[in-house]
Amino acid sequence: MTYEDLPFGGIATFFKAPYVPAPTTAEADVAVVGVPWDLGTTNRPGSRLGPRALRDASTLWAFQQDHETMYDGEAGVELLGGVRWADCGDVAVGPMWSPERYHNSVVDRLQPIASAGLFPVTLGGDHSITYPVLKALVQARAGRPVHLVQFDTHMDYWEDEGGQRWSHASPIIRSHEAGFLSGLTQYGIRSLHTAGDNIALAQSRGAHIFWAQRAKDMLPADLVEHLPQGGDVYITFDIDALDPAIAPGTGTPEPGGFTYYEAKDILLAVCDRCNVVGLDLVEVAPQYDGPAQLTALHGARLILDTVGAVFRRRAALS
């Protein structure tokens, strides 16, 4: 271990990975990209600082030589054996940019990464980033859609919010309308801002909605049995899916929600069953987090858990 590997040493890239703006599969398996955008927020702003907070929190686990291995004693597995990471920095976004300009910037940065065969991990930013991220991914897949697995308090299925169609209240409905989704599964929904017509519309399009209390009472295997076995899945994780008692640093928290272990167990079940092709984690707003950085810590750890499960499945099938 060197000084640079210590949490307080060196440069705080995600997991202390090498900074590589445009990696290839010869250099990395996983490409981390930040999208510091929160102009889609309808409640408390601040998630533009989420990528920085998640990177800083991730340095807690950067003790491993070459950042490639990590043993999870609870699970009895090598969490990240042989997985090579690259931090590509952030997408360029600016104050008062139009939704179209911001979307284009995200697509222009993410599409080459996905086309190169890397596993994209995108750090938000508010949840509106998921639409352009999915657009980039589907373009890289020659138009083939993905089944979206969403962890969230909110459905994000509003036709518009205050007349705005591109806020963090609408990325899922916009993605459905654009043909990016072959299916939709939502875990942890519990918001009082969930309207009946939104529920009916999503379900009419085949959405599987698992309300928070129901999901907490079910076994992970039962929660994922409807997902396409071996099918291509993209995961979007809004940190407000977690109980704000353990993850207060977010813009639109609501009472209830998953514990770390509940969320982790569902994520691992999804990764065991499906071919996960990408991941984003959004809505971390560190100014509401407090000095312990609990929200960012939970977010960074869930990213490591998920990526580890994705690559263990790939190794088992190879």
HSE at residue 157, side-chain half, CA atoms within 13 A, is 25
Residues 17 and 184: their CA atoms lie apart, in Å, by 32
Q: Which domains does the chain have, with CATH numbers?
A: 3-317 (3.40.800.10)
The residue to which tokens 């997991």 are assigned: 15
Write down the pLDDT at residue 160: 81
Write down the pLDDT at residue 63: 66
Q: Is the dihedral of CA 290, 62, 112, 176 positive or negative?
A: negative
Q: Rg of the chain over CA atoms, in angstroms? A: 18
Instruction: Name the residue among 22, 183, 182 with its Cα closest to residue 108.
Output: 22
DSSP string, 104-160: HHHHHHHHHHHHTT-EEEEEESSGGGHHHHHHHHHHHTTT--EEEEEE-SS----S-
Write down the pLDDT at residue 3: 79
Model pTM score: 0.96
What amino acid occupies position 75?
A
Q: Which residues of the chain have pLDDT under 50?
A: none
